[in-house]
Amino acid sequence: MSLRTAVLSLLLLLAACGGGSGSSNTTPVSLPSASSSGDNSQPANTAVDNYVQQQLLAQSIPGLALVVRQNDKIVYAKGYGYASLEQAIPATTEQRFQIGSITKQFTAAAVMLLVEDGKMALDDKISKYLGAVPPEWEPITVRQILTHTSGLPQDISNADYDATNQHGAYTTDQILAVLETYKPQTVPGTTYAYSNVGYELMGIIIEKASGIFFGDLIQSRIFTPLGMSSARVIGFGDQSGTAMGYVMQNGHPAPLPMTSVSAGGQSWYRTGAGGIQMSASDLAKWDATVGTEKILKKSSWDQIWAPGALVQVGEGYTIHYGLGWFLSDYNGHPKVYHSGGMPSFTTDYLHYTNDKLSVIVLTNLGTQWTDSETISRTIANMYVPGILPQ
């Protein structure tokens, strides 16, 4: 089956930073006492272990994978709880989790690779790559989509979810036709408004500009060179070693299996907004290269991490959005970061640039029920006191 025309299940169509619920006939599973597994050669961090175990039980999270990198090396890597409650498989840092909107930084990286290749420019209008577009789309640029200032809405409507679920396999142009029905809700270039629709569209723009399916491009230009062997678009390849995702039903985690990709059996593909899965260990490999010239030039990172849109102002901090990353500075501790939420997975990834500290937290419970951001920030504060709250 061609990757270009392959599509993912309705599960992946739900918002890359949104929530969902499981089937009503799924049998609830009681949460056993949390376990933990890690590299036996690393000294145990009792404070971290106790905190994570407490959070798993308090939030009913089946499993969590944690990696902490400090001063350019992994200082803690551990799995807690279960990748599969039904099979009592302990969670580890080597199992794939859906990373949700952390995908967006890979989408932005793919764009910058094409910018470096001379195949795209950030201030090009998207019509350069898509051809004729709705009149309301004419002013929209590549940069505006990447900075969430295109004005496009956050998500596709429930009605369109239902319609796409009945459609069967889509071509790229059929997906584009659905997206073209969504109009900007604010004047492009004027207002920050988080848009999964925009990033979904960017996956198509990348394909149009490069002639290569988005998933193939990041596989060949990012994942393979970095040895990220678990990383892939959701649903493609061998799924052994992939954590089961869960939703809450009747107060207990219940599994939400991902339908395997098959011709005619899927409704959509979800790539640019939140369509990647990988292990915490492989995300750590990516973390080791961000800001370096291993994959992208320094000039590209300067663009990616330039404050592109003001998101929020608080006491002692501001939050901006760059290209695929949030940017914040609290109490002299600047960081670049992104969370990810899927119906049955919730994740968070922090990269403190000056403190040389990164925290990766991947969980297999849906975003509606999980607070992974508090977990990651609390752990960061254990390694560098005063780094909280934003």
Q: Look at 358 and 237; give whichever has higher pLDDT.
A: 358
Q: Is the pLDDT of residue 31 over 80?
A: no
The model's pTM is 0.90
> Tokens 């997206």 sit at which residue?
179
Asked if 370 contacts 297 with a C-beta cutoff of 8 angstroms, the reply is no
Query: What pLDDT sits at residue 10?
Result: 27
> Tokens 């500290």 sit at which residue?
357
Both tokens assigned to 22: 């499981």
Beta carbons within 8 Å of 128's beta carbon, 6+ residues apart = none
- Within 10 angstroms of residue 305's Cβ, the number of other Cβ atoms is 20
d(CA 365, CA 247): 6
Which of 53-57, 94-98, 254-258, 354-358 has the weakest average pLDDT? Answer: 254-258
Write down all domains in the chain, each with its CATH number in brackets.
Answer: 10-25+36-383 (3.40.710.10)
State mean pLDDT over 143-153.
98
Query: What pLDDT sits at residue 388?
Result: 75
Closest CA to 370 of 276, 257, 246, 241: 246
Looking from the CA of 384 toward its CB, the CA atoms found within 13 Å total 26
Is the preceding peptide bond at 43 cis, omega within 30 degrees of 0? no
Asked if 175 contacts 181 with a C-beta cutoff of 8 angstroms, the reply is no
- Give residue-wise pLDDT tens across range 237-284: 667 889 999 999 999 999 987 653 333 333 355 579 998 999 999 999
What is the percentage of the chain residues whose pLDDT exceeds 90?
71
d(CA 146, CA 101): 12
Looking from the CA of 237 toward its CB, the CA atoms found within 13 Å total 16
d(CA 138, CA 131): 10
Q: Look at 257 and 119; give whichever has higher pLDDT.
A: 119
Which of 12-16, 143-147, 160-164 has the weakest average pLDDT? Answer: 12-16
Query: What pLDDT sits at residue 165?
Result: 61
Which of 70-74, 238-242, 363-367 has the weakest average pLDDT? Answer: 238-242
Which of 92-96, 144-148, 174-178, 246-250 has the weakest average pLDDT? Answer: 174-178
Beta-ladder partners of 255: 246
Return mean pLDDT, the chain: 87
Amino acid, single-letter form, for residue 201: L
d(CA 35, CA 30): 14
Query: What pLDDT sits at residue 253?
Result: 94
Q: Is the pLDDT of residue 229 over 60?
A: yes
Closest CA to 295 of 214, 216, 227: 227
Q: Look at 273 and 6; give whichever has higher pLDDT.
A: 273
Query: What pLDDT sits at residue 389?
Result: 62
Which of 28-32, 136-140, 202-206, 355-359 has the weakest average pLDDT? Answer: 28-32
* pLDDT confidence tier of residue 32, bands split at 50, 70 and 90: low
Residue 331, Cβ density class (10 Å: 0-12 exposed, 13-18 middle, ≥19 buried): exposed
Query: What pLDDT sits at residue 236?
Result: 67
State mean pLDDT over 337-351.
96
Both tokens assigned to 351: 């990269």
d(CA 238, CA 259): 13
d(CA 33, CA 209): 50
The DSSP result for 65-105, as a single string, is EEEEEETTEEEEEEEEEEEETTTTEEP-TTSBEE-GGGHHH
State mean pLDDT over 332-356.
96
d(CA 366, CA 238): 23
